Amino acid sequence: MKSISDARPGAPRQGAQPVEERRDETGAGNTGANRRRAWTRALRRHALPIAAIIVIGYLVLAPLVRLQLLALADGGAGYARGFGTADIARTITTTLLLGLGSLVIGLVFGAVLAWYSIQLPPRARWMATLPILPIVVPPVASMIGWGLLLAPNSGTINRFIRSLPFYSGGDTGPIDVFTVPWIVFLTALGLTSFVYVFLRAGLLRVNYELVEAGRTAGDRPLGVFFRILLPIVRPSLIYGGAVALLLGLGQFTAPLLLGTIKNVKVLTTEVYFFANAGLADYGAAAAVASPLLLAGFGIVALQRVLLGEEQRFVTDGGKTSRYSARRNPVAVIVIGLFSGTVALLPLLALIAASLSPFWTGQIDVSTWSLDNFRELWNTPSAVSAVETSLIASGASVLVSLPIGYVLADILHRRSYDTRIRAIIDILISLPLGVPAVVFGAGFLFTYTAPPFVLYGTPWVLVVVYVTLMLPFATRMQLAARMSLGDSYQEAARVSGAGPLRTHLQVVIPMIRGSLGGSAALIFVLLTHEFAASLLVRSTRTQVMGTTLYDLWLNVSYPLVAAMGLVMCLVTAAGVILAVRLGGSKALESL
């Protein structure tokens, strides 16, 4: 996730408008006519951004607004039903636990990892990308991997602990992955990567002379860490924490996959079950989604405020900062251990299970074969799910990129009205703030009803995916445009090229690396997509994630594992492509 707004918000308005205003003052006689003319001109100049607002406004807001109207209908009957269930208090508590747990565990682990990552010895510097790996593994797959490892009866790790000589417990446990503490812990572990990315970037931006200045001024290393380093990276700290909190609150995959078995409920799973039950109760779904929606809006607002005061934390000096924290070999162990546990362990469980004829948690290499993959290959629904995933994701990439290009261009151009650009900026930020399952419920309701009845066709997936990917499609291109600057375009224009030719022959070729990178990134994120897909799928349009969920419900673990691995492989191909095209930065923008 990149920062919500790279656009400079306070840009002065230029161009025709001030001139018009001045004319207003002089021609006092027919002020009204002049003002009307000025308005028409401003409107004509802003035709493109206004059209953009209408289109993405519909895509983003229609699902949310229609859902909310439904919840409020009949004097808020939806709210009464949504919050009228017997265990709603426990659901809310669990949701809060998930959010706060993610915040605390994510911040502590993320800070420790980030601190060690900048102390890596030169030869081990590549390891700094390892803690990002958990983001790359599809969450559905890694949660299933954890399930295989930590299930109370058959979990491999539980079996191992029980086999230890001094263990004196019963036939199950000691770890029960289907309970709240473990769901919270595993979720937080996955979200640690996000905090890590923000904090590491923050620490790397710090001009190390600031730390040295503290030491020469007479402060101890620990004093410098708390009095100087942490306050300087405060924006990254707050932002990383807020993102972890939001993602924790909106977490859907782990509670659904692991929690349903022991009736652990959170708001997101309530949204899903209300919207997806036999008699879909969208009103109730919308009602329970409201707290999450508010948290999402809050985060987007917070981000804009934080960005406003960010210049206070710009620490660039004359030289590029040369970070010279003392090397620490412990860093290799800490980072290796975390990444190995969090990313590799569930993958290994998937591999072992997918090769075994049946899954009991015991690993018996002699029985291993590729039979499960063969069976998967012969299951038409599985094959068509992979196909649908690839086609829908690919098509969405093709639609997203041009939309993102136009939006980035609007946000980049300072001659447009600041307010109009701010509206667009907020609109494209919303899909980051609102949990995908909430969007999914909104999409399901919106696209099963007129004017656009798309449910049951692959098109609904494309529309949903394009909406969800708006922030990613726009941000990366905007960042590329900003680092490109305006001078190349200006050079083309004064050389006689028109706007279209300038875009086609100058801008696009120059940002093609970022274009390729964002294409690959979007593709990866979409092949991961689970929550929204689960809601808008139909029997004819299944994707990898939803098929995986169905297999999981049917308790055919080896097949589940095989499907999970296929998903990981598709992702891996996308990630390699992303790194090739967009550089290692592409990973961080996840």
Question: What is residue 458's three-state secondary structure?
Answer: helix
Nearer to other proteins, 17 or 315 (CB): 315
Nearer to other proteins, 324 or 362 (CB): 324
Answer for which of 133, 228, 307, 401 binds other proteins (CB under 8 A) is 228
d(CA 422, CA 253): 32
Q: List the structure tokens of 243.
A: 């993102």
Stretch in the footprint of other proteins (CB under 8 A) among 204-212, 332-340, 470-478, 540-548: 204-212
Minimum separation from the CB atom of position 320 to other proteins (A): 10
Query: Interface with other proteins includes 222 (CB under 8 A)?
Result: no
CB contact at 8 A, 319 and 527: no
Answer for which of 315, 328, 457, 538 binds other proteins (CB under 8 A) is 315
Nearer to other proteins, 23 or 205 (CB): 205
Query: Interface with other proteins includes 5 (CB under 8 A)?
Result: no
The sign of the dihedral angle between the CA atoms of 293, 294, 297, 303 is negative
Q: How far is residue 86 from each of residues 81, 179, 195, 290, 438, measured CA to CA in Å? A: 11, 19, 35, 19, 22
Query: Interface with other proteins includes 220 (CB under 8 A)?
Result: yes
Minimum separation from the CB atom of position 227 to other proteins (A): 8
In which residue are the tokens 């406003």 written? 308
Query: Interface with other proteins includes 323 (CB under 8 A)?
Result: no
Burial of residue 278 (CB within 10 Å: 0-12, 13-18, 19+) is: exposed
Alpha helical stretches, state H, 206-281: 209-216, 221-224, 230-232, 234-249, 253-254, 267-276
Minimum separation from the CB atom of position 356 to other proteins (A): 48
d(CA 565, CA 373): 10
Q: Within 10 Å of residue 434's Cβ, how many Cβ atoms?
A: 25
Query: Interface with other proteins includes 209 (CB under 8 A)?
Result: yes
For other proteins, how many residues bind (rule: CB under 8 A)? 28
Query: Interface with other proteins includes 216 (CB under 8 A)?
Result: yes
Stretch in the footprint of other proteins (CB under 8 A) among 220-228, 348-356, 439-447, 483-491: 220-228
Identify residue 363 by its one-letter amino acid code: I
Query: Interface with other proteins includes 58 (CB under 8 A)?
Result: no
Query: Interface with other proteins includes 314 (CB under 8 A)?
Result: yes
Query: Interface with other proteins includes 213 (CB under 8 A)?
Result: yes
Query: Interface with other proteins includes 207 (CB under 8 A)?
Result: yes
Q: Within 10 Å of residue 21's Cβ, how many Cβ atoms?
A: 13
Answer for which of 312, 327, 419, 512 binds other proteins (CB under 8 A) is 312
Q: 76: alpha, beta or left, given left = phi > 0 and alpha = psi -120 to 50?
A: left
Answer for which of 164, 170, 319, 494 binds other proteins (CB under 8 A) is 319
Interacting residues toward other proteins by CB under 8 A? 207, 209-210, 212-221, 223, 227-228, 231-232, 234, 311-319
